[in-house]
Chains A and B, each alone.
Chain A
Amino acid sequence: DAGITQSPRHKVTETGTPVTLRCHQTENHRYMYWYRQDPGHGLRLIHYSYGVKDTDKGEVSDGYSVSRSKTEDFLLTLESATSSQTSVYFCAIRADAFYGYTFGSGTRLTVV
C-alpha cells in the first residue's frame, strides 16, 4: 500500500505485561518515528530513529523503548504496560527534510 505496515493492528493486553509493536517499511527511508494519538492531544512523539541503531527520545518516551537493527524495521516496546498507554500508535517514515511523513495504518492498543 503506502510502503509501511504496522503489526498488530489491534491488541488487548493486561497491565504489567510487555508488548512489542512492529513497524516495517519497504521505502528504504532513514527516518522513522513512533507517535501515539489520544483524544484532545493530537499526535505526540514517543521515539524516533535517524538510522540503524540510531534512536532518540521524543516528548512522551517514559515507559517505552525502541530498537532499530535493520533499516526496514522499527520496534516499539512497552516494558510493562499500564492503562495510561491505551492509545492508537502510529509509525511514520520520512524520506528527507522538507518531506512530509507517510503514516502506517496504526495499532490500537488496549491495556486492561
Chain B
Amino acid sequence: GENVEQHPSTLSVQEGDSAVIKCTYSDSASNYFPWYKQELGKRPQLIIDIRSNVGEKKDQRIAVTLNKTAKHFSLHITETQPEDSAVYFCAASEDSWGKFQFGAGTQVVVTP
C-alpha cells in the first residue's frame, strides 16, 4: 500500500518568511495529493490540492509542487502570518475508493 513521509515534523519561521513542507510517497499510481491545515482543537481543512497531471498550483500565498518522477510534493507558504500557525498534513490517493494515506503532520509556528 501507499506510504507517505512528511518532513519536517516541526517548523518555526519568522513572520513574513517562507515555509516549505515536503512529502514523499511510495506508490507511483497515486494521482491526487491534497494538503490539510488543522488548527488546535479543530477539524482538518483542505487548503489546496494537486492532480498528477499538473506540476504546480497556486492559491494566493500557498502553492503546491509535484515531482512525479521523484515521487515527492511540497507545500510552500509565502509571507507567513501568525494565523498560518497550525499542523499541516499532506496526503496521497490512488484508488477509486478515495482512501487517503496521510503524512504524520508538520507543526508550523509563526513567530511575530
Look across to chain B and name the residue whose beta carbon is closest to the beta carbon of A6: B43
Question: Nearest CB to that of A50 among chain B residues?
Answer: B97
The residue in chain A whose Cβ has the minimal distance to the Cβ of B52 is A98
| Interface pair A56/B103, CB less than 8 Å apart | no
B interface secondary structure, majority:
loop
Asked if residues B99 and A58 are in contact (CB atoms below 8 Å), the reply is yes
Size category, B interface: 20 to 34
A48 touches B43 (CB 8 A): no
**A42-B89, A90-B44 known; A101-B100 Cβ under 8 A:** yes
Residue B98 at the chain A interface, CB threshold 8 Å: yes
Decide: B97 and A103 in contact? CB cutoff 8 A: no
- Asked if residues A97 and B96 are in contact (CB atoms below 8 Å), the reply is yes
**Residue of B31, B32, B46, B104 touching A42 (CB-CB under 8 A):** B104
Across the interface, A100 reaches (CB within 8 A) one of B46, B99, B103, B104, namely: B46
State the CA gap A31–B101 with chains docked (Å). 15
0/1 string, B1-39, CB within 8 A of A gives 1? 100001000000000000000000000000110101000
| Partner pick for A43 among B97, B98, B102, CB 8 A cutoff | B102
Q: Using CB atoms and an 8 Å cutoff, list the residues of chain A in contact with chain B.
A: 2, 31, 33, 40-45, 48, 50, 56, 58-59, 90, 94, 96-106
